[in-house]
Amino acid sequence: MLYFDEAGYTGPDLTNKEQPYFALASIRMTDDEVACMKKDIGYCEWGKELHFKGMYTNPHGRAMLDKIFNHPLMDDNHVLPSFAYKRYCIYANIVNILKFRI
């Protein structure tokens, strides 16, 4: 399994001064590793998709997040975080727009 997700609530708002970075993490796990992690964290008992926004507001969700973030498979061999400075994204977007108009 390979999974990508972005973090933050500003999306395409590239000039947002409170959130100047995009954060992106990718996770690479085998099917067996995914099954092991789901079992260890109690994924089936949660009963719905794991969304941080809905999990951090209640004790059960916070306990689940703690299990996820502290799971042995959440290591450098499986998780790759990346960050992008939004100001750079503005320049890249302008170049991308211009290259199609020339």
Write the pLDDT tens digit of every residue in 52-98.
878 889 898 899 999 999 999 999 999 988 888 888 877 777 887 88
pLDDT of 7 above 60: no
Can you give the length of the chain in residues? 102
For residue 6, the model assigns a pLDDT of 54
Highest mean pLDDT among 3-7, 18-22, 33-37: 33-37
Per-residue tokens: 30: 């085998």
pTM over 0.85: no
Lowest-pLDDT choice from 18-32, 33-47, 50-64, 82-96: 82-96
- Asked if 79 contacts 70 with a C-beta cutoff of 8 angstroms, the reply is no
Q: How large is the C-alpha radius of gyration of the chain?
A: 17
Contact residues for 69 (Cβ-Cβ < 8 A; gap 6+): none
Q: E strand or H helix at 23, and its extent?
A: strand 21-28
Per-residue tokens: 78: 């499986």
